[in-house]
Structure 1
């Protein structure tokens, strides 16, 4: 079964742009970067040529010997059976972070040979780019690839339901037979998450054990990346942080606490390790905002933040949460249920907004799960894992800042009550669209 990926449309837009630059596709390991670029090449170009800098180190020499695109193309042409032609061949540089000279060459492709269509990708490209020596700013375009969203999973698994939701035009309750099916698919997504190999195993009915094995293989690959690519001093710190994420999120107050990483741990000793995980696309760091004003990131309290995983399915497997706890429910699965729902909502909001959400607290009186910057509006967000509501945090925020609207995600139906919009969790990927319906 071929997975639907929305980023294909963004790649087509990039291709049509007359002022396009070489493109860098960023994303965590196993999110499907290589597959997407090869699919893009097959469907949009006459030829596709791929060079992998991790598998074939002999390619490095070409880029270390010259910076001229014409000479690079001439030599690369000797290594492929397909022609490398301006505008007709998609030239893929895979695992480009393994060759700094190749990264640097993108500048010269833009300046001297823009007629060649060049895309680059790599599992740890975000980490490589933090070093600041790869290429000048402004010479490349960027796209971020995330795990499949619930919306992408839904289009692959049940296109009729997906099309129904795409046609929503107002805030009104959905029929129960629709909500029942969407709730079931939402639970499935919490278990499997959005990693392509995992979703394929699930949709091909290979069984939950195969799903778990795929997730464990990805988690093991991440651990190997820590050991292979991080600075020696940071490796144990990265592992300590990684292993503490589940317990950090299990707290009622999910603020990241260094002493839960390791007794006596200090912030300055772990900042590089956190940045590595963040740059690798494995975690989200959600900062507390001191004031929910524009621009949102200008009011970050850098000492207060929460850490979530980039994929809710991997969070479930990393935490050792059995799939049946989500499918069937369990009396002991109550506190962590909220953390899973929050991780899911954040994973949904991140691709929709340019600014990553923040969270807000009020002197211990209230805490709003997320704050989003939607165009020129600052909107508070509350996440409830089930249908039971309650809590006063949104009311405290409303009385203080009077936002244009407030969002509550839960398993209740789509509904507007004054400025409060209840969005079913399975509609989180349609948040921007739903906000546009507010009158």
Structure 2
């Protein structure tokens, strides 16, 4: 599986000096990519602290780099430094917080290039008197495969996906046969998702039922992590929050309601806030906040009491919604369950491309917008919910001049084009190819003589 993060690792290697930590949910391919990356070294050492309790004691006994290497050698682990720095991989470092702390002395020592993985991003504290490695580590987030990586796995070359990105960026018309093929792949992505094991199973078998079994196994692992790595008082609440997300997204409103978690009136953030926060810190969900007003700066317009919760992986969401949902999507009903899966796909596409996501719902009004982002330096409204209607009343209202929204984009199952109102229509997969937002800088002035 070709992953974009591999380029990040190569760049780190050429200018290393700090340890690198891959953080992200379990089953997103961190171990695989680290082992693939190790092939660029003359020599590498791999240890898994979740699988080897004895090696944990090495880090629990000392925080001195030389002593760590000596104790590892007594465990039969050798480091060949004869031809330059070897790569030292520590997998599952979240199971041993003192090993996470040890990344600082190991990075300073410099005899190895250090790379580690954290499967639960929110679980990486140092303990006792051991120093924090922050400042000596580069944190790199790794989530599920995005749609472009999914296309690579399906055999679509990088040259072709680069062309797709260019077409979306310029708003160019896409050939009908190509657009239809990409839409079919996108629907498949909605049911298979981006977890590498699920994608690989589909590549190998083309059997969605076998993929279903893989997704079931991944969901079981998520549940076990919640029970193992959370406070005892929150464990069942975390699972309840997770299980409520599909039904909340499948409703017309989609805004997360705490009392719907336990089906008990009067419950709210006090009962479930820390549990939802655990899911967010574990890298399993995206939070999309409502705006008091759709204007810049978006971060200052957030209503922290009103938000949507999206699962990062569409395959897991489809699995939780059930086989009927998967069958409907496979049959072409993209907007089944009020568009819960397609909206989640788009949320993750925007987040993975570097966008901060928000939505807008005007109180006591039918005016609502699925996403409001800053796209190409302009405040942009994105609508995904109306696949069959050509004219969007909410988009027209937000871009009419009474609001500060400068651009309207409708994401639908259709071709690229602009309508008579200036609304840009893009296909379902388009946000997966949006350019990464960049910091705009003013041109430098030529100094006066």
Q: Whole-Å Cα distance in 1 between the matches of residues 90 and 282 of structure 2?
A: 18
Give the equivalent residue in structure 2 for 1:352: 353
1:407 partner SS = strand
* Contact 2:103/2:133 (<8 A) preserved: no
CA distance change for structure 1 residues 294 and 92 in 2, over 3 Å: closer, same or farther? Answer: farther
Partner of 1:150: 147
Instruction: Write the deviation string for residues 363-386 of structure 1: whole angstroms up to 9, x where unpaired.
Output: 233111112234754322211463
Q: Aligned in 2, Cα 1:235/1:434: closer, same or farther, shift over 3 Å? A: closer
Q: Mark the CA change 1:433 to 1:225 in structure 2 (over 3 Å): closer, same or farther.
A: closer
- Corresponding residue number in structure 2 for 1:45: 41
Match of 1:58 among 54, 57, 60: 54
TM-aligned CA distance change 1:347 to 1:72, over 3 Å: same
Q: Is the 8 A contact 2:44 2:89 kept in 1?
A: yes
Q: Is 2:7 the partner of 1:9?
A: yes
Provide the residue aligned with 2:315 in structure 1: 313
Q: 1:243 to 1:416 in 2, by over 3 A?
A: same
| TM-score (normalizing by structure 1) | 0.90
RMSD between aligned residues: 2.7
Partner SS, residue 205 of structure 2? coil
Does 2:395 match 1:394? yes
Unmatched runs of 5 consecutive residues or more in structure 1: none
After TM superposition, give the deviation of residue 120 of structure 1 in Å. 1.1
Secondary structure of residue in 1 paired with 2:233: coil
Task: Give the conservation status (yes or no) of the 8 Å contact 1:4–1:153.
Answer: no
Residue aligned with 1:135, SS: coil
**Residue 165 of structure 1 aligns with which residue?**
164
Task: Quote the residue 2:101 is aligned against.
Answer: 104
- Whether the 8 Å CA contact 2:93–2:118 is kept in 1: the answer is yes
Contact 1:33–1:121 under 8 Å retained in 2: yes
Checking the alignment, whether the CA contact within 8 Å between 1:383 and 1:409 is kept in structure 2 is yes
Partner of 2:193: 193
Which secondary structure state, in structure 2, belongs to the residue aligned with residue 165 of structure 1? helix
Q: Please list the CA deviations of residues 324-367 of structure 1 after superposition, one character each: whole Å capped at 9, or x if unmatched.
A: 2111146xx855151111101011111111x5311112223311
- C-alpha separation between the residues in 2 aligned to 1:300 and 1:240? 26
1:247-280 CA distance string (max 9 Å, x none): 1111111111111111032211111100111111
**Post-superposition CA distance 1:207-255 (Å, at most 9, x none):** 1211100001101111111212211110111111111111111111111
* Alpha-carbon contact 1:69-1:109 (below 8 Å) kept: yes
Question: d(CA) in 1 for partners of 2:291 and 2:215?
Answer: 33
Equivalent pairs, count:
428
- Is contact 2:46-2:88 (8 Å) kept? yes
State whether residues 328 and 336 of structure 2, in contact with CA within 8 Å, keep that contact through their aligned partners in structure 1: no
SS at 1:350 equivalent:
helix
CA contact (8 A) 1:409 1:422 kept: yes
How high is the TM-score relative to the length of structure 2? 0.88
Tell me: CA distance 1:241–1:71, structure 2 relative to 1, closer, same or farther (3 Å): same
Tell me the residue number matched to 2:79: 83
My pick for the range that moved more, 402-411 or 172-181, is: 402-411
Residues 65 and 108 (structure 1 numbering): CA distance in 2 closer, same or farther, change over 3 Å? same
Q: Does structure 1 retain, via aligned residues, the 8 Å contact 2:23–2:121?
A: yes
Structure 1, residues 141-176: CA drift from partner, whole Å, max 9, x if none? 111111111111112213244354255473221111
Q: Quote the offset at 1:109 in angstroms.
A: 2.8
> For 1:56-115, what per-residue CA distance to the aligned partner results, in whole angstroms no more than 9, with x for missing partners?
1111222122222222223324445552539531111111011111111112234x3245
Partner of 1:400: helix, strand, or coil? coil
1:382 aligned residue? 383
1:26 paired residue number: 23
